[in-house]
Structure 1
């Protein structure tokens, strides 16, 4: 079964690191967006199994807002796992991540192995 994974981050080097890390997964179809609005629109079109979502992005939608929109969308929310990627790991940020129903929170700079383990775990729960 192929898993669609959407990587949404405004920093090209982070997208590249995540992409290179996840290329090792079997049956992964990787897509990228560089801002929240494009990420939201791509999520609606692609219906990804997993979204890796930067929290702090310029433009109309930040990562928390995109996460909330995906989770509240009846066609996306129930089946879409979301990992929030952020340099911000204060208690308030973690609480906001919980409020918007993210599935996991990974602080930058993260270990590629930790990312792979987390993605593998969430996709295995996806079915």
Structure 2
């Protein structure tokens, strides 16, 4: 993974979106997203995946900060973009799929998984 801090608040983390479950780990008790009615009451996790579907993935280099709309408030990271919807625990898949209804809503970042782009592209400089 490469991290770049630019002028002011500009930042970049370049990662490969390679698998469906790569992405941002979030929790429902720290989000502005409404809790789905079918959410498992015993699991509070949710995620913003980097892919549209479980199989047939598109491999691409992305800047996590712009892709997920990272913002920092009082030293805490939040995301504001959900390009592929959200995933959450329920009896079925718990996958909303791509939707714009969550964009603009803040969710506190618990963790994220980033594939180091240098492992896949040996001679390409960081964009």
Q: TM-score range, shorter-chain basis?
A: under 0.3
Relative to its length, the structure with more strand (as a share) is 2
Larger radius of gyration: 2
- Taking structure 2 as the reference length, what is the TM-score of the superposition? 0.21
Which has the bigger relative contact order, CA under 8 A and spacing at least 6? 2
User: Which has a greater percent of helix?
Assistant: 1
TM-score normalised over the length of structure 1: 0.21
